[in-house]
A = this chain, B = another copy of it.
Amino acid sequence: MSAPTTACCAPIAREPLAEAEAAELAVLLKAVADPVRLRLLSMIGSHAGGEACVCDLTDAFELTAPTISHHLKVLRTAGLIDCERRGTWVYYWIVPAVVNRLGALFAPLAEPAPASGGPVDIELTTV
């Protein structure tokens, strides 16, 4: 059905990443490559109104407040979330554009090569 010619596939599988671009993306990926930060991002994104107070987040973990604050800072430095102080509390929300960048990297990978135990069938796509 589909030609294994990676014509419409994820950027990552279409052409080799440039060194600089890989470094830039790695920073973004490092930010989410942690169970706590992954859950934080998820909690913020799925919270009512699209934003969450730090106190809500802290209660969900068995970690100290400074540790949560540190993880939030990592996410914010990477650009994945942003925050604002509103009175006593600080609220965080997701920056969709940056998160989408990660999705675009891996998302449109074509259906798996059914050849289990072997690489993509290298049958010549008749051109």
Contact = CB atoms under 8 A, between A and B. Distances in A.
Interface of A: 4, 6, 9-10, 12-17, 19, 22-23, 25-26, 29-30, 32-36, 38-39, 41-43, 45-46, 48-51, 60, 82, 84, 91, 93-97, 99-100, 102-113, 117-120, 122
Given A26-B34, A102-B106, 18 more contacts: A9-B45, A12-B42, A13-B46, A14-B45, A14-B46, A22-B42, A23-B35, A26-B35, A49-B117, A49-B122, A50-B113, A50-B120, A50-B122, A84-B118, A93-B120, A100-B106, A103-B107, A106-B107
B6 A45 contact: yes
A101 to B, nearest CB: 8
Nearest to A29: B33
Closest 6 CB pairs of A and B: A13-B45, A103-B107, A50-B120, A103-B106, A107-B107, A29-B33
A97 B118 contact: no
